[in-house]
Amino acid sequence: MNELATPAPAGSEPEAELSADARAAQFAQQVGQLRDAVIEKLTYSVGKDRNTASERDWFISVALATRDHIVNDWMRSVRAAYQENRRRVYYLSLEFLIGRLLIDSLTNLGLVEQMRAALSSLDMDLDKLRQVEPDAALGNGGLGRLAACFMESMATLSIAGHGYGIRYDNGMFRQTITDGWQHEYPEDWLDFGNPWEFPRPEVAHNIGFGGVVDAMPRDNGSPARIWRPSETVVAAAYDTPIVGWPGADKSNFVNTLRLWSARAPDPLRLDVFNEGDYVGALADQVRAESISKILYPADSTPAGQELRLRQEYFFASASLQDLIRRHLRQNGDIDALADYVVIQLNDTHPAIAVAEMMRLLVDVYVLDWDRAWEITQATFCYTNHTLLPEALETWPAPLMERLLPRHMQIIYLINARHLDRLRAEGMEDPGKLSALSLIDEHHGRHVRMGHLAFLGSHKVNGVSALHTELVKQTVFRDFNEIYPDRIVNKTNGVTFRRWLLEANPHLTKLLAETIGKDFYNDAEALKALEPLATDLDFQARFAGARLANKTALAGLIADRMMIKVDPNAIFDVQIKRIHEYKRQLLNILQTIAHYNDIRAHPMRDCVPRVKIFAGKAAASYHMAKLIIKLANDVARVVNNDPTVRDLLKVVFLPNYNVSLAEAIIPAADLSEQISTAGMEASGTGNMKMALNGALTIGTLDGANVEIREHVGADNICIFGLTAEEVAVRRARGNDARDTIAASPMLREVLESIRDGAFSPDDRNRYATLVDMLTYHDYFLVTADFDAYCATQMNIARRWRDRKSWWRSAILNTARTGWFSSDRTIAEYADDIWKVPVRPS
């Protein structure tokens, strides 16, 4: 019996019921037990003693001791879901960008301070050990991080939720910057074991590929289709418990993230091995296991590779087999599946699950087609994450035919029935029919995965109000006319536990002292700060908390980059994947303009700024890599120019990941959200920084629109073309020569880049980049340049008026509670999943 099973969560004030003495005694008891547990893990699980243990050994011991606390609640949560026969939510995502779990777990268990004290009594430092944990980086960026926030919020709201994904051996690559260029190195998060996961070798499913489909007469006369795959791969389960924030009853609900790892069914062909062909004997194993070897590191562009389709089908099939087995074990009746199961597809990556569900229902469970289709549609929901036409997944029909012959048949049949129905309802326009077809016939046949996901789902959602509107007007315009109620909006959110409580303890402490701890349970309670926004004493304390964060980030920058930055300067931050539509280039051009201005007017009193960039470029995305190089070239020139003094520093921090985000976000004064309007579906980095008290400089794109509505137009700096204006402008073509000619500042900036001012070693390096901006400025960097620079100058003016700046910053924190992923998940639960939530 674990006596620490009901920890005191910081937010729910159980302490108030205890006397101070009793509280101190309970704390001391928990510290003692944790200390003993850590030593026991170190000795018996890691096999080291205190004198020889490395920091990694200590970390593993601390993680295992923490995990023990989760397990009882986990089992209780699993039992509750069974006993109440709850409707379950399955979140299928090819990406989960989790980051570290130690502080996250301890926070939700209410044991951070107890563990800190326990370690301190062993001469160990929790804050040092937490840095030893590798990031679980099973995702590229926003989409994967959203899945991680959603898992945490589902547990917090006591939804019986299961995440399904792939346990990649190598997650997101490690980025280094050498001489300004990005290099990619394999990331090895599993090398020293993963203390959070439980291997489940008994949970394994066979996944077929290739082969042929036979027709066999059935008893009832209609032919059965038998798929005889030529290849089988085994999906083996690994479970990670995901702890929610405790509810009103002080208990933690715990859900499971189940990740699949690929195995060969017969790892070593002994017959081949005995004949001396050692390499051949391993070939099948290597081919099978390659499926879960590596995360595709491309963001917003489809991989289009056979291995990627194998990954998609592998995890979709394993997950469906698993959840159907669970359903049948409990309810016995496949026909009732949709009553007990809802499956959310995170983008089109798992969309092949629609065809797999039909195959299982029709071929394996022998339901008739129409009933199977009803169940499928009633079970699936799909989230669209992008409008970029190049990012909409399609698969060549011949490839799908070869890899998944039965699924190709099923997709053709779904499509034939869908088009028949449209014709029967009077649709004759061949253009419309071809736009609505699951098969794109334009340049060789391709299966449109977005169309398949739409058709197979009862709800389809966009991720911000603007994005959902554009989804209705563009990619799914024709579908929306036929199914006008299917598309709904669910604006993204972020979990406040990680992005405020854990990432920003200084601010959290101040907030708790000022408005109490209600906001721990309900982010909307941050509203109580509003009256304090003009309180000078509170402003000073707010500024003090932020200065502590900025000083810590300045230390990190000094350590890693050997660049000295002044914590009193504006920290102007753009951290996200490097992509042309996100327009890091616009920020860099403005940086150069500002640099030119400082040099031209050395005596002018100007506000010191630190420009902070971080982000990875897909390895094959040459322009994105060139943008990284330019940021680094500009940094070198600016940081080494004595006339600039401390007025401007430019820092590109390598290897952006969740942990680096946690260090930067609490220190950001200005949050750069400057995508070409209409192109960023939502953004979540924008929410994290506003919550932590940064002002946003941004376009009216994605969730920026709703951030403006919540914080108020006076407390956000909006500039640039709107999505509508972007569309109009693009219709006129992307030649920017007139725009450049009309802006002397922009001309000077582009000329200095073209002339090699930032690349004296290779004066031609940026010629193509400048040409691109001049003749094909698809992302409208030049069109928004002047407005952006003017807004940046306004920001410098605002910064001088500290009372007004801190008022806006405080109001950003006070008014962004709505962007909690608890709110987002409650909306999904209510509107899409039809499951109850238990508010914390």
CA–CA gap between residue 267 and residue 70 (Å, rounded): 34
Nearer to ligand PLP, 229 or 698 (CB): 698
Nearer to ligand PLP, 99 or 247 (CB): 99
Q: SS3 of 564, please?
A: coil
Closest distance to ligand PLP from the beta carbon of 562 (Å) = 24
Q: Residue 597's Cα: distance from chain center in Å?
A: 38
Nearer to ligand PLP, 486 or 576 (CB): 576
Nearer to ligand PLP, 299 or 784 (CB): 299
Q: Parallel, antiparallel, or unpaired: how do β-strands 609-614 and 695-698 relate?
A: unpaired
CA–CA gap between residue 479 and residue 482 (Å, rounded): 5
Nearer to ligand PLP, 511 or 658 (CB): 658
Phi/psi of residue 209, nearest 5 degrees: -140, 145
Active site residues: 385, 576-577, 582, 684, 688
Residue 216 burial by Cβ neighbours in a 10 Å radius (0-12, 13-18, 19+): exposed
Nearer to ligand PLP, 53 or 177 (CB): 177
Write the DSSP symbol of residue 498. Answer: I
**What value, to the nearest 5°, has the Cα angle with vertex 510 and ends 695 and 249?**
110
Closest distance to ligand PLP from the beta carbon of 139 (Å) = 8
What DSSP string describes 637-666? HHHT-GGGTTSEEEEEESS--HHHHHHHGG
Show contacts of 556-562: CB within 8 Å, 24+ apart. 556/653, 556/663, 557/612, 557/651, 557/653, 560/653, 560/654, 561/651, 561/653
Tokens of 251: 């208990």
Nearer to ligand PLP, 411 or 658 (CB): 658
Closest distance to ligand PLP from the beta carbon of 587 (Å) = 13
**What value, to the nearest 5°, has the Cα angle with vertex 74 and ends 73 and 77?**
85
CA–CA gap between residue 205 and residue 164 (Å, rounded): 14
In the chain, the N- to C-terminal Cα span, in Å, equals 26
Closest distance to ligand PLP from the beta carbon of 242 (Å) = 17
Tokens of 9: 């969560």
Nearest to 451 by CA among 378, 370, 369, 351: 351
Nearer to ligand PLP, 171 or 208 (CB): 171
Nearer to ligand PLP, 4 or 143 (CB): 143
Tokens of 111: 């044991």
Closest distance to ligand PLP from the beta carbon of 95 (Å) = 11
Tell me how crowded residue 52 is: count the other CB atoms within 10 A of its CB. Answer: 8
Phi/psi of residue 491, nearest 5 degrees: -65, 130
Closest distance to ligand PLP from the beta carbon of 684 (Å) = 4
Closest distance to ligand PLP from the beta carbon of 24 (Å) = 37
- Residue nearest ligand PLP (C-beta atom): 685
Nearer to ligand PLP, 57 or 662 (CB): 662
What DSSP string describes 339-381? HHEEEEEESSTTTHHHHHHHHIIIIIS---HHHHHHHHHHHEE
Nearer to ligand PLP, 244 or 683 (CB): 683
- The answer to whether 629 and 681 have CB atoms below 8 angstroms apart is no
Range 8-18 burial, b when 16+ CB lie within 10 A, else e? bbbbbebeeee
What DSSP string describes 12-76? S-GGGGS-HHHHHHHHHHHHHHHHHHHHHIIIIII---TTT--HHHHHHHHHHHHHHHHHHHHHH
Residues forming beta bridges with residue 228, ordered by sequence position? 212
Closest distance to ligand PLP from the beta carbon of 668 (Å) = 11
Nearer to ligand PLP, 177 or 403 (CB): 177
Tell me how crowded residue 242 is: count the other CB atoms within 10 A of its CB. Answer: 30
3-state helix, strand, coil in the chain (%, to 5): 55, 15, 30
Chain residues that interact with ligand PLP, rule: CB under 6 A: 141-142, 145, 576, 657-658, 661, 683-685, 688
Closest distance to ligand PLP from the beta carbon of 692 (Å) = 12
CA–CA gap between residue 413 and residue 221 (Å, rounded): 19
Amino acid (one-letter) located at 319: S
CA–CA gap between residue 104 and residue 115 (Å, rounded): 13
Which residues touch 392 (CB under 8 Å, ≥6 apart)? 302, 348, 386, 448, 449, 450, 475
CA–CA gap between residue 47 and residue 295 (Å, rounded): 32
Closest distance to ligand PLP from the beta carbon of 349 (Å) = 17
CA–CA gap between residue 449 and residue 437 (Å, rounded): 11
Closest distance to ligand PLP from the beta carbon of 672 (Å) = 9
Closest distance to ligand PLP from the beta carbon of 634 (Å) = 21
Nearer to ligand PLP, 167 or 385 (CB): 385
- The answer to whether 497 and 151 have CB atoms below 8 angstroms apart is no
- The answer to whether 694 and 714 have CB atoms below 8 angstroms apart is no
Closest distance to ligand PLP from the beta carbon of 682 (Å) = 7
Q: Residue 260's Cα: distance from chain center in Å?
A: 19
